[in-house]
């Protein structure tokens, strides 16, 4: 069997290190690189050409959704496995649209991570049970009572909202996304209007309330 080359992406050193140690001990698995941001993941995916990227969803900078889109735009043969700490519906839908092949939560057992990798390599999608249940609810039309208000945001609005929640200022966001600070502020005001809030602090509380962001991520 051909060795499966893996790239592990997570901004939490402990989580990334644990994954690397687990996966490197598996026969025919080889972790060829580690990244702590979406930007670094894009760069390494182009130089290392991994078969599979385990992509943390929520990271500083452009984040996992945008990184997934850019990696696959360059090489659509790479299989992306999204990994999240939150079991909300916003990100599974966005990652699927971006081209992710599997979706796991960070509570997933190592054996299930290994199974997911082996499945995506042969072209089969994989979802952890929690994520699969949520997607099934949405597809049956029963999701309307519990859906996230963040679903109403465009991909760019969601990206800017999450970067704002992480404490990034408009000028910094503009530099990362290569658009003007004025445009960033226009997006921010649009987000505030949709959520009926008035500032960044309220946005942080709103994101935590709706479980789009964990409190520990903000520390």
At 109, give phi and psi (nearest 5°): -70, 150
Domains and CATH numbers, the chain: 4-139 (3.40.50.2300), 149-218 (1.10.10.10)
**Dist. CA 59–CA 65, nearest whole Å:** 10
Compute CA 185 distance to the chain's CA centroid, rounded to the nearest angstrom. Answer: 23
DSSP 8-state code for residue 146? T
CA dist list (Å): 169 to 159, 173, 200, 209: 13, 6, 10, 22
| Burial class for 161, CB neighbours closer than 10 Å (0-12, 13-18, 19+) | buried
- Residue among 40, 30, 137, 48 at smallest CA distance from 88: 137
Question: pLDDT 10s per residue in the chain (219 long)?
Answer: 689 999 999 998 998 999 999 999 999 999 999 999 999 999 999 999 999 999 998 887 888 888 999 999 999 999 999 988 765 556 666 777 788 888 888 888 899 999 999 999 999 988 887 676 666 555 544 444 446 788 788 878 888 888 888 788 889 888 888 889 899 999 999 999 999 999 988 888 888 787 776 544 443
The distance between the two most distant Cα atoms of the chain, rounded to a whole number of Å, is: 56
To 5 degrees, how large is the angle CA 35–CA 188–CA 155? 50
């Amino acid at each position: 069997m051909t060795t499966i080359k893996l790239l592990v992406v997570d901004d939490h050193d402990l989580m990334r290190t644990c994954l690397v140690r687990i996966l490197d001990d598996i026969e025919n698995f080889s972790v060829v690189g580690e990244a702590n941001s979406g930007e670094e993941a894009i760069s390494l995916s182009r130089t290392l050409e991994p078969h599979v990227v385990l992509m943390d969803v929520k990271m500083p900078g452009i984040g996992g959704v945008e990184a997934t889109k850019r990696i696959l735009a360059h090489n659509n043969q790479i299989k992306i496995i999204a990994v999240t700490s939150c079991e909300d519906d916003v990100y599974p839908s966005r990652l699927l649209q971006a081209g992710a092949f599997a979706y796991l939560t960070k509570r997933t057992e190592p054996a299930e991570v290994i199974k997911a990798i082996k499945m995506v390599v042969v072209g089969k999608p994989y979802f952890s049970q929690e994520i699969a249940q949520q997607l099934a609810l949405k597809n049956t039309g029963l999701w309307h009572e519990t859906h996230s208000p963040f679903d109403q945001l465009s991909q760019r609005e969601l990206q800017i909202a999450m970067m704002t929640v992480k404490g990034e200022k408009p000028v910094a966001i503009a530099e990362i996304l290569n658009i003007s600070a004025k445009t960033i502020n226009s997006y921010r005001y649009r987000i505030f209007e949709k959520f009926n809030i008035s500032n960044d602090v309220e946005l942080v509380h709103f994101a935590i309330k709706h479980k789009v962001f964990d409190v520990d991520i903000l520390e």
